[in-house]
Amino acid sequence: MATEESPRRSWSRPTAFYNHYVKWTVYVLITVFLLWSAWNMRISPERITAGWGATVGLVEGMVPPEVTTQFKNELLIEGLVESVAMSVVATIVGVILSIPVAFMAAENIAPKPVYWTGRGIITGSRALHELIIAIIAVKAVGIGALAGVIALSYKTIGFFAKLLAEEIEDIDAGQMEAVEATGASRVQTLLFGVVPQVMPRIVGLTIYRWDINIRHSTIVGIVGAGGIGATLLNSFDKYDYDFFLTIVLAIIAIVMIGELISTYVRGRIQ
């Protein structure tokens, strides 16, 4: 019995554009925008040359880093300890506030009014940079670590709740329905049908956000919200570039230690 030969198919590369005219129009618009941006920033060879000379002078003033003055070493240690403490407290507070917001923002388990309220909270948290929140917090509660904790906790909500809500929306609905079939209440269904499925993600996101808050805690101090940032800015304003480099190296070391810890913990829970 003769078999019919199946028609040969040709493969075409997937594309986001439905025709070539749209594709090249988008490419032209992007190119024009990049050229306009370069012109608007007034980039010129003279400016690049002058900046290179200033950069060389700055680096020469930084090297070698200063590690001899006891008073400065105390400022460095105090600032770093405060930054780490801020990141830990802000992560704990932010995660506690984020979990209910995430459940509110999960479309598969929340009614529409609750869903849009949760999404609104997430959008509000993500809309503003932590430095802006830190400035507002400094005006509200004064200079110090409390303002930094408020700023970092506020930003944690937008990050943590958004990713956790997306994880909740991808859960296995069968497990939740099985819990409901036993006559469980709504709260019991969430506790025993949803939380166990997303708990590894909660732990992983908590570690990841703590890692981010360590880095951000060194920045919010620039506007007076505690941490090493204020010391960093003061050293630069006083042209104390060698101590500035010492602080930068210490921040890099702290971030690297935090990254190693977060990598180890994520590896243990996966």
Which tens digit of pLDDT belongs to each residue from 173-202? 777 778 778 777 777 887 888 878 888 888
Tokens 């400094």 appear where? 138
| CA angle centred on 211, ends 206 and 215, rounded to 5° | 140
Helix-helix angle 195-220:145-169, to 10 degrees: 150
pLDDT value at residue 238: 80
Most confident option among 32-41, 48-57, 63-72, 151-160: 151-160
Q: Minimum mean pLDDT among 86-100, 139-153, 203-217, 256-270: which range?
A: 256-270
State which amino acid sits at residue 33: F
Task: Decide if 114 contacts 100 (C-beta within 8 A).
Answer: no
Task: Decide if 129 contacts 186 (C-beta within 8 A).
Answer: no
Residue 7 pLDDT > 70, yes or no? Answer: no
Eight-class DSSP state of 5: P
By C-alpha distance, which of 87, 125, 35, 50 is closest to 226? 87
**pLDDT: which is higher, 20 or 120:** 120
Q: In this structure, which long-range contacts are made by residues 43-49, counting pairs with CB atoms below 8 Å and at least 24 apart in sequence?
A: none
- CA 75/CA 221 separation, integer angstroms: 13
By C-alpha distance, which of 245, 235, 230, 223 is closest to 133? 223
pLDDT value at residue 253: 85
What tokens were used for 159?
């990050």
- CA 78/CA 72 separation, integer angstroms: 10
Average pLDDT over residues 61-80: 77
Q: DSSP assignment of 142-159, as one string?
A: -SSHHHHHHHHHHHHHHH
Residue 124 pLDDT > 60, yes or no? Answer: yes
Percent of the chain with pLDDT over 70: 91
**pLDDT: which is higher, 93 or 171:** 93
- What helix, strand, coil percent values describe the chain, rounded to 5? 80, 0, 20
| CA angle centred on 251, ends 249 and 252, rounded to 5° | 65
Band (pLDDT 50/70/90 cuts) for residue 239 is confident
Mean pLDDT estimate for the chain: 82
- CA 217/CA 187 separation, integer angstroms: 36
